[in-house]
Amino acid sequence: MTQLDMTYVQSQFPGLTDDWVFFDNAGGAQIAKPALDRMTEFLTHRNVQIGGSYAVSQSAAEALLKGRQAAATLVNAARAEEIVFGASTTVLMGNLMQAMRSQFSEGDEVIVTMADHESNIGPWTRLAEFGVTIKVWPLNAETMDLQLSDLEPLMTDRTRLVCVTHVSNILGQVHPVGDFARFIHDRGALICVDAVAYAPHRLIDVQAWDVDYYVFSLYKAYGPHGAVMYGKYDLLAELDGLYHYFYGKDKVPGKLEPGNPSYEMAYAADGILEYLTGLARHHGVTGDDRALTKAAFDLITAQEDRLTDRLLKWIAARNDCRVIGTDTNMDSRRVPTICFRFDGINSGKIAQAMDGYGIAMRFGDFHSRRLIEGLAEDHDDGVLRVSMVHYNTVEQVDRLTAALADIVSKDAA
Ligand SMILES: Cc1ncc(COP(=O)(O)O)c(C=O)c1O
């Protein structure tokens, strides 16, 4: 496997400066230049409402369509109408719940997990007001991830929907969502996946996995603030519209995009695709956009594994620090989002001290509060999180660990 040309990679992210090392990428990552260029081009030359007969309006609509097609390619959707744009994953999940509301009857059951960000729990728990029973798929204490053996006893013939994370933004383990989908479909329910912590790191293939709803945020995947929801066309067509009574059920995806999405955000998805395909081409790969995207994520994974292994090794060599969740990266099953804590030292104090070293990281519960509380990690300002992406380097990890060692030794002194 070819190694990433890091000079090339870093040249593609205008926000990367020498001043800061960004290790808070699961909070928000840098935007790739082609995505930024799309936004500038849209706002400079096409910034009008779509739907008009005049040329500029047609051109704005083309940009939105191009963004939708690019997002469809990125997730491998069968058609562009299966892509719904929204302001954030939180907004899209809340909207999905509203649009599904009338499909649930009293006594139906929805399963959420203990490992999810609140975005994929909170909206569904509100269905309890309508007589829906909410059950919780627990984290497996042995494997520290979600296991089907723990889901099985929860499923009944009233289970309508299972809402699950592809990767927890705390634990970093990739779940086999294709296996999950098969298991859940076999028992007559639908699956809704939060892929926010997965999308920046690995290839998405909604058709291969046969997932029903799949949601992630663009601003953590090298784009601007905004998010994408994939839904199978027939399922989207069944959803209730979110506004305007004269929008029919067949107005997919418009009935699910109240007031229209941000056009420049949507168009930027085409820039993310250009970045990924360009990355593969730069490394000598040829093929169609999907093949190039796959090759790009293979390269990205190899670089991320180097970063993950470096940091995990450093933590393992210390006796005052422990990883939250699994501390190995078997078969690249871990993304480089690593939470940990030092014995007896407040996590917030450490993260804030890192500011002085020019290293951006974060502490707390990362809105996966139920998980952090369930693991009894909510004391001392929660956990520390270093969340890396492929534009980070091994040298930056070494800078991070040297700074951590320095801070911790001063605290002990
Ligand atoms: C795993 C996960 N899901 C959902 C969200 C919410 O995303 P958004 O900020 O787009 O609502 C986040 C944000 O940090 C997240 O990490």
Ligand 1 center to 2 CA (angstroms): 32
Is the CB–ligand 1 distance for residue 207 below 6 Å?
no
Cβ atoms of 164 and 116 closer than 8 Å? yes
Each residue's pLDDT expressed in tens, for the chain with a length of 413 residues: 589 999 999 999 999 987 899 999 999 999 999 999 999 999 999 999 999 999 999 999 999 999 999 999 999 999 999 999 999 999 999 999 999 999 999 999 999 999 999 999 999 999 999 999 999 999 999 999 999 999 999 999 999 999 999 999 999 999 999 999 999 999 999 999 999 999 999 999 999 999 999 999 999 999 999 999 999 999 999 999 999 999 999 999 999 999 999 999 999 999 999 999 999 999 999 999 999 999 999 999 999 999 999 999 999 999 999 999 999 999 999 999 999 999 999 999 999 999 999 999 999 999 999 999 999 999 999 999 999 999 999 999 999 999 999 999 988 77
In a 13 Å sphere around the CA of 373, the CA atoms on its Cβ side amount to 8
Ligand 1 center to 167 CA (angstroms): 11
Is the CB–ligand 1 distance for residue 117 below 6 Å?
yes
From the number of C-beta atoms within 10 Å of its C-beta (0-12, 13-18, 19+), residue 368 rates as buried
Cβ atoms of 194 and 163 closer than 8 Å? yes
Is the CB–ligand 1 distance for residue 392 below 6 Å?
no
Cβ atoms of 400 and 359 closer than 8 Å? yes
Q: Which atom of ligand 1 is nearest to the CA of 93?
A: 11
Q: Measured between alpha carbons, how far is 232 from 101 in angstroms, rounded to an integer?
A: 17
Ligand 1 center to 9 CA (angstroms): 25
Is the CB–ligand 1 distance for residue 58 below 6 Å?
no
Q: Measured between alpha carbons, how far is 18 from 282 in angstroms, rounded to an integer?
A: 24
Check residue 76 and give its pLDDT: 98
Ligand 1 center to 217 CA (angstroms): 7
Ligand 1 center to 89 CA (angstroms): 6
Is the CB–ligand 1 distance for residue 90 below 6 Å?
yes
Is the CB–ligand 1 distance for residue 59 below 6 Å?
no
Q: Which atom of ligand 1 is nearest to the CA of 27?
A: 14
Check residue 413 and give its pLDDT: 74
Q: Which atom of ligand 1 is nearest to the CA of 168?
A: 1
Cα–Cα separations (whole angstroms), residue 348 to 20, 341, 345, 355, 382: 19, 10, 9, 11, 8
Q: Measured between alpha carbons, how far is 175 from 146 in angstroms, rounded to an integer?
A: 7
Check residue 141 and give its pLDDT: 94
Least Cα distance to 109 among 98, 125, 85 occurs for 125
Q: Measured between alpha carbons, how far is 3 from 6 in angstroms, rounded to an integer?
A: 9
Ligand 1 center to 372 CA (angstroms): 15
Check residue 19 and give its pLDDT: 85
Which residue's CA is minimally distant from atom 14 of ligand 1? Answer: 27
Check residue 142 and give its pLDDT: 95
Domains of the chain: 6-32+289-412 (3.90.1150.10), 83-241+248-256 (3.40.640.10)
Check residue 110 and give its pLDDT: 98
Q: Which atom of ligand 1 is nearest to the CA of 87?
A: 10
Our mutation pick for probing the ligand 1 site, out of 24, 84, 90, 201, counting the most ligand atoms within 8 A of Cβ, is: 90
From the number of C-beta atoms within 10 Å of its C-beta (0-12, 13-18, 19+), residue 292 rates as buried
Check residue 23 and give its pLDDT: 98
Ligand 1 center to 386 CA (angstroms): 16
Q: Which atom of ligand 1 is nearest to the CA of 92?
A: 11
Is the CB–ligand 1 distance for residue 194 below 6 Å?
yes
Angle between helices 33-45 and 55-75 (to 10 degrees): 160
Ligand 1 center to 119 CA (angstroms): 7
Lookup: tokens for 308: 């993950």
Check residue 1 and give its pLDDT: 59
Place of tokens 């728990």: 125
Ligand 1 center to 169 CA (angstroms): 8
SS (H, E, C) 147-161: CHHHHHHHCCCCEEE
Least Cα distance to 197 among 223, 182, 215, 213 occurs for 215
Ligand 1 center to 28 CA (angstroms): 9
